[in-house]
Amino acid sequence: MAEYWGVKVGDIFNTMPERFREEGARDVDASFGYDIAGEGKWKITVKGGTLKVEKIDDLSGCASIMLCDGETFVGVNTGKVDSVNAFTSGKVKVEGDFGAFGKTAKMFKKFVIGRKEMSTKDYILDMFGSLVSRFQPQNAKDLNATITYQIGGEGGGVWTATIKDGTCELKEGHVEKPTVRLEVNEASDWVDVMLGKTDPFSLLSAGRAAIAGETALALKLGEIFAKYQPPSSTDGEPEQELIVLKKTIAVNQRFATGPVMGRFLNALKEKKIFGTKCPTCGRIQLPAREVCADCRVRADEWVEVGPKGQVRYMEYVYYASPDPLTGETRETPYGMLNILLDGCGGNDTFAHLVRRDQLDLIKGGHYEISGTRVRPVWSDKRVGSIFDIKYFEIDE
Amino acid sequence: MGKRVAICAVAQIKNEGDLWHARFQNMLLECFESVMQQTGVTFDMEKGIRNVVTCSDDVFDARTISNNGMTDVVGAHLRGEEKMAQESLNGLGYAMASILSGHDDAILFMGHMKESQGESRRMVSNLSFDPFYCRPLGLDNMNMNALQARAYGQRSGVQEEHLARIVVRSRKNAKKNPYARENEEIDEAKVMSSPLLADPLRELHYYPITDWAFGMLLCCEERAKEFSKNPVWITGFANCMDSYFPGDREYVSNFSLKKASERAYKMAGIKDPKKDIQIFELCDHAAYQLPMWAEGIGIVDEGKGGAWVDKGGMDKFHVNLSGGMLNGNPFLLGGAARAIECFYQLRGEAGDRQVDGVKKALAHGTYGAAGQHQAVVIMEA
């Protein structure tokens, strides 16, 4: 008895009792026949939630009989062959009550391929068995071509893929004048290429493979067909759930503001904006800070600036950063500004938000050109925070 | 022994329980100005400081890459600035390596920490554990210390009375240290009746929450005299990291401290620390660690910590005359505080704590849970 993907036709029938799902067979009271070409005939009888499986030549009394070859039967049962394709292509035929036959699909758990080393032949079968499902029509637009794979050595064979109007069909055997023909002397070499263990160019340069016809098309095969994925050792078993853990890290903090930051925030309560002026270079930093970073001296002269100014930089934000204090996402779009407040110079700008309905009216400036004039809109309740200013609006 | 690296100046603010009136920038600025004033060093790209090493903790500062908030006040604007997110003694080692490599002549080394700022120091140390296996169990440094304290007590004969003596002595010594955190004077009975945090750890066995900042100027041997008449020399440094997962470690083996001190001794040419070194400053987060680390650096025979305390070993070997970590330094900065105390002793500037004829001193720093990571610096006059 032949093996396909390491599975014999008999394995499918022999495991039916353990794969039988009573709940899927509750309303079924019938016998079903299977005529597997070259393998034999089987009859299963379902009645009152019980199952009987017989290898028997007499299939009389069956509601339906399935006819196909061994490879297709194993392929459909193991998920290696698409069952709908198998029907529509005529590889599977059903005699009798087709509706009744459809119920058999619900009666069994999926057959699981046992863990075993795959042979070269297994790989070759799996590679060509999955070729159509790996076809990428978006990468084969306007492509009409026939591609023949001529694989020699043990496990080899000849297959031809026909690509036309965004579809792909695979047949065994040669066709006349294929667009391109790949010839590989040893099937095991082709398996290595498909598994990424060897690159095709070294095979070509070693004379172990050849391309006839349109070489350019052969080079595009990697795009036309998705990469072959060998069945994993857990193939057929339910995938392990990959757990995602959600954690929030939070440690409450109590920030001292110190004499400089504290004075700056206190001034905001009085609707005033203060910067600290460097005694050496004269720059005014906003928000006020302890030192002039450039001159490395304490900047302890306080200068009131603004509150009006001109926009230096602006942006539109479409994807909001969540508010760090509330976790809430801001309404978008919103605009952020860097404002050169009156009295400040150079790069010493102050960052804030812009009134949302004025987003489109704001123009940034630079050293030569003044940006839009803006003024702060103060919060009614001011507590000594950056949001004592709600936002800046156009100063008209 | 190779070239030496000089510590030309140190600066610090007083250790405080809650510096509510200053943010860390204010704390650092004082230290920065003091180092500048003591040494006259500049930020000239040829002759001055090209690189600043800082030490801080992201969670305590509540900002990722928390050194971003300090570059201005440590003079690091428009030049190299590198953060040591590790026990501060490693920053000293890192600065030393930068100088010995020839990459830098002078390094400004600054550090700060405000333990008072976070709601819970234990929540912060909980975050240092594996987020999936250890954090949910409630593991934090205090748990780990209690596990270690119990095991160490059994092995070394360190009992409740020894721990009380260590705490009382720490506070007494700290009274002579003008930069030490000001703590209430206590007696042994008070220590032994203080609340149990995690048996056998009592509240007074544990270092108190502290805010502090420091600065140092390190320099290559050739140029040290430009910045100081009497520099102190770093002649040995080594550190060692033990396993992260608590289950992978033997808690009382002192594995990483033995490795770190052996390598630091080798670098500094020290044959017998008991004879060659006059001052030992150990990073004792909890009272039991003082004799335990003393075993680790090889001045107490293994498992004899209890007897050593009984025989007055702490005073005989001049261990933690500053008051030690136990009196109060922030967790990250215990090692720098130890090195600064060694600096004073080696320069003869330790005031009422001064020991005569100090030639060599050992500063120790530890980080990670229960001494996972250990660092040792050998300093010489």
**B177-220: pLDDT as tens digits:** 999 999 999 999 999 999 999 999 999 999 999 999 999 999 99
Q: Chain B partners of A298 at a C-beta cutoff of 8 Å?
A: 29
A-contacting residues in B 125-164 (Cβ below 8 Å): 127, 131-132
CB A269 within 8 A of CB A384: yes
User: H-helix or E-strand containing A213?
Assistant: strand A209-213
Nearest-angstrom CA–CA distance, A87 and B255: 70
Minimum-distance CB partner of A251 among B20, B22, B123: B123
Kindly state the tokens that stand for B191. Answer: 């220590």
Nearest-angstrom CA–CA distance, A69 and A299: 90
Place of tokens 């299939």: A59
pLDDT tens readout for residues B344-372: 999 999 999 999 999 999 999 999 989 99
Nearest-angstrom CA–CA distance, B260 and B3: 20
Question: For a pLDDT cut of 70, what percent of chain B falls above it?
Answer: 99
What pLDDT score does A239 carry?
A: 57
Respond yes or no on whether the N-terminal peptide bond of residue B208 is cis (omega within 30° of 0).
no
Q: Chain B partners of A289 at a C-beta cutoff of 8 Å?
A: 25, 72
Of A127, A112, A116, nearest to A6 by C-alpha is A116
Q: Are residues B71 and A253, on separate chains, in Cβ contact within 8 Å? A: no
Of B331, B61, B85, B64, nearest to A255 by C-alpha is B61
Nearest-angstrom CA–CA distance, A252 and A39: 73
Q: Chain A partners of B25 at a C-beta cutoff of 8 Å?
A: 258, 260, 289-290
> Tell me, what's the ipTM?
0.89
Kindly state the tokens that stand for B292. Answer: 């335990």
Band (pLDDT 50/70/90 cuts) for residue A204 is confident
Band (pLDDT 50/70/90 cuts) for residue B1 is very low
What pLDDT score does A152 carry?
A: 92
C-alpha separations of A260 from A125, A274, B97 in Å: 76, 10, 36
CB A290 within 8 A of CB B25: yes
Residues across chain A:
396
Q: Chain A partners of B21 at a C-beta cutoff of 8 Å?
A: 256, 258-259
Nearest-angstrom CA–CA distance, A392 and A352: 7
pLDDT, average across residues B1-8: 84
Phi, psi of B137 (to 5 degrees): -75, -10
CB A224 within 8 A of CB A131: no
What pLDDT score does A324 carry?
A: 63
Lowest mean pLDDT among A18-27, A216-225, B90-99, B166-175: A18-27
Nearest-angstrom CA–CA distance, A42 and A10: 9
A-contacting residues in B 185-244 (Cβ below 8 Å): none
Q: Is residue A114's pLDDT more than 70?
A: no
Residue of B nearest to A249 (CA): B127
3-class secondary-structure state, position A266: helix
Q: Is residue A367's pLDDT more than 80?
A: no
Nearest-angstrom CA–CA distance, B343 and B277: 14
Q: pTM of the full predicted structure? A: 0.70
Specify the DSSP class assigned to residue B304: -
A-contacting residues in B 65-84 (Cβ below 8 Å): 71-73, 75, 77-78
Put simply, whether B63 touches A (Cβ < 8 Å) is no
Q: Is residue A85's pLDDT more than 90?
A: no
What pLDDT score does A234 carry?
A: 47
Band (pLDDT 50/70/90 cuts) for residue A2 is confident
Put simply, whether B123 touches A (Cβ < 8 Å) is yes
**Gyration radius (Cα) of chain B, Å:** 19
Question: For a pLDDT cut of 90, what percent of chain A falls above it?
Answer: 38
Q: Is residue A321's pLDDT more than 80?
A: no
What pLDDT score does A238 carry?
A: 55
3-class secondary-structure state, position B246: helix
| Ordered DSSP codes for B79-137 | SEEEEE-S-HHHHHHHHHHHHHTTS-SEEEEEEEEETTSBS-HHHHHHHTS-TTTTGGG
Band (pLDDT 50/70/90 cuts) for residue A116 is low
Q: How many CB pairs under 8 A join A and B?
A: 64
Q: Is residue A276's pLDDT more than 90?
A: yes
Q: Is residue B241's pLDDT more than 70?
A: yes
3-class secondary-structure state, position A6: coil
Strand partners, A54: A43
pLDDT tens readout for residues A235-273: 455 556 678 887 777 888 889 999 999 999 999 999 999
What pLDDT score does A19 carry?
A: 84
| Alpha-carbon gap: B110 to the closest alpha carbon of chain A (Å) | 15
B-contacting residues in A 223-252 (Cβ below 8 Å): 245, 247, 249, 251-252
Could you tell me which residue, B315 or A103, shows the higher pLDDT? B315
Q: Are residues A256 and B22, on separate chains, in Cβ contact within 8 Å? A: yes
| Ordered DSSP codes for A293-324 | TTTTEE--EEEEE-SSEEEEEEEEESSPPPPT
| Alpha-carbon gap: B72 to the closest alpha carbon of chain A (Å) | 5
